[in-house]
């Protein structure tokens, strides 16, 4: 099957600079955390990548441990890219990360120079690529000196195996220290990746959102739909095929109680009044925050990607809407 990209893919697409850098990311990026592992349907993976790119989504976000099994999302995306989309590589931003456990022993997780550079080499082999555009440290490491971790990111860039450095799941205080080190090393650190949603305000509490603004770095957000809670899937209760029923690592039935379901219903009413689905409003709410570069969406089918892109039709919120969303979500 030959793939030819939509010639009008950039006509209505929106791109934002990562802080003060020259790198731009699409307003909506595609995350491959779920549904791109070996348990997924490869033909569906292809269709999702094609649909995303055909509609101006140029950024594909991975990590070494995405699957299942670990590494399989990189391998599957690499196959799609090399078999069908290779001619468009220069139009894409491909990112990967290292920081969570990937192999046994003391060198298979966190932030040592040994782990990060070994992991990047393995990621590039799985992807079938010479370089990634962004290489992230995936989580803070309390045991490795921050300078060592930043030095590894700098080496990744200066070796030509990554073009930019990023940090994921850092708090504001640690990110500022890391930014100072990377600045001294003349390493192009441009982006932070953190969880943020109407229900999860941790980036506000840990100072990373404000720190990104102050240091003029980009912010890309994952889990903007709170693992699917901020969609229409839970309006009538917990569906049998939901992530709660099939994978309880991030959501469980005790969390999605009657009070939570009532909140979801009330937020859905606000979304309806705005002419949006709950998911579209939730994405727009995150995107509208000052300093946000891009929101990462996950998808299980191409239609979800198209539906989520419609959030860009209405990203303005009145003060009353914002106050009511806060009242519902935080009460």
**pLDDT recorded at residue 254:** 72
Q: Does 249 score more than 70 pLDDT?
A: no
Whether residue 40 is contained in a domain is answered as yes
Whether residue 296 is contained in a domain is answered as yes
**pLDDT recorded at residue 255:** 78
* Choice among 73-87, 240-254, 267-281 with the minimum mean pLDDT: 240-254
CATH number where 199 lies: 3.20.20.100
Express each pLDDT in 189-205 by its tens digit.
999 999 999 999 999 99
Whether residue 284 is contained in a domain is answered as yes
160, exposed or middle or buried, with CB in 10 Å at 0-12, 13-18, 19+?
A: exposed
Percent of the chain with pLDDT over 90: 91
Q: What is the mean pLDDT of residues 150-161?
A: 98
Whether residue 285 is contained in a domain is answered as yes
Query: With b meaning 16 or more CB within 10 Å and e meaning fewer, what string describes 130-139?
Result: ebbbbbbbbb
Domain count, the chain: 1
Whether residue 6 is contained in a domain is answered as no
Q: What is the mean pLDDT of residues 116-135?
A: 98
Q: Which residue has the tokens 């969609």?
A: 231
Confidence of residue 41 (pLDDT cuts 50, 70, 90): very high
| Structural domain harbouring 161 | 15-228+280-315
CA angle, corner 264, sides to 261 and 269, nearest 5? 130
Whether residue 137 is contained in a domain is answered as yes
Which has more confidence, 313 or 243? 313
Q: Does 251 score more than 70 pLDDT?
A: no
Listed in order, strand segments (DSSP E) in the chain are 15-17, 24-26, 28-31, 59-61, 93-98, 132-137, 162-168, 189-195, 218-222, 294-297
**pLDDT recorded at residue 256:** 85
What values do phi and psi take at 263, rounded to 5? -60, -45
Whether residue 241 is contained in a domain is answered as no
Does the pTM surpass 0.85? The reply is yes
Whether residue 258 is contained in a domain is answered as no
287: enclosing H helix or E strand: helix 278-287
CB-based contact 235:264 (threshold 8 Å): yes
């Amino acid at each position: 099957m030959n793939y030819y990209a939509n010639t009008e893919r950039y006509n209505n697409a929106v791109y934002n600079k990562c802080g003060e850098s020259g790198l731009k990311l699409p307003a909506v990026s595609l995350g491959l955390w779920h549904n791109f592992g070996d348990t997924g349907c490869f033909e569906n993976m292809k269709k999702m990548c094609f649909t995303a790119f055909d509609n101006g989504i140029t950024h594909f976000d991975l990590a070494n441990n995405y699957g299942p099994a670990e590494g399989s999302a990189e391998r599957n995306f690499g196959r799609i890219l090399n078999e069908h989309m290779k001619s468009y590589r220069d139009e894409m931003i491909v990112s990967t990360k290292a920081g969570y456990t990937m192999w046994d022993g003391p060198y298979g997780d966190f932030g040592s120079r040994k782990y990060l550079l070994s992991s990047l080499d393995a990621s590039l082999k799985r992807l079938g690529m010479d370089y990634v555009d962004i290489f992230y440290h995936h989580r803070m490491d309390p045991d490795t000196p921050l300078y060592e971790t930043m030095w590894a990111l700098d080496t990744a860039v200066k070796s030509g195996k990554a073009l930019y450095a990023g940090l994921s799941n850092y708090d504001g205080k640690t990110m500022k220290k890391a930014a100072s080190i990377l600045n001294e090393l003349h390493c192009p650190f441009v982006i932070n990746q953190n969880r943020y949603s109407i229900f999860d305000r941790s980036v506000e509490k840990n100072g990373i959102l404000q720190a990104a603004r102050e240091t003029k770095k980009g912010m890309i957000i994952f889990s903007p739909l709170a693992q699917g809670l901020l969609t229409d899937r839970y309006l009538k209760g917990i569906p049998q095929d939901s992530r709660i029923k099939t994978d309880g690592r991030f959501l469980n039935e005790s969390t999605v109680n009657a009070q939570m379901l009532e909140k979801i219903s009330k937020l859905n009413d606000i979304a309806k009044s705005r002419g949006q689905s709950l998911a579209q409003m939730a994405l727009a709410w995150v995107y509208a925050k000052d300093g946000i570069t891009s929101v990462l969406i996950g998808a299980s089918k191409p239609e979800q990607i198209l539906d989520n892109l419609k959030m860009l039709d209405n990203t303005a919120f009145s003060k009353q809407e914002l106050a009511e969303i806060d009242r519902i979500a935080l009460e």
